[in-house]
Amino acid sequence: MTEQELRKRLEALRIEHRDLDAAIDALTETGRQNGFIDQLQMQRLKKRKLALKDQIAAIQDTLLPDIIA
């Protein structure tokens, strides 16, 4: 992938990560109101969010490699 493609992919992953944050917050708030939180759905969202975080970190490492000084 070119640097430009990596940057576009990185931005898309960041947007999806933020969207998952919002979904988790909404699920939590709905659960508080109803007295029931769908733990399976919450677990799936958090797992996907963690996978996105790993993908974001990998792309960032590719774009900004460590410089040993």
Q: Which residues of 60-69 are buried (b: 16+ CB within 10 A; e: fewer)?
A: eeeeeeeeee
pTM for this model (two decimals): 0.85
Q: How confident is the model at residue 69 (pLDDT cuts 50, 70, 90)?
A: low
For range 5-15, the mean pLDDT:
97
Left if phi > 0, otherwise alpha if psi is -120 to 50, otherwise beta: which for 35?
Answer: left
Per-residue pLDDT tens digits for 21-57: 999 999 999 999 999 999 999 999 999 999 999 999 9
For range 8-28, the mean pLDDT:
97
The pLDDT score that the predictor gives to residue 23 is 96
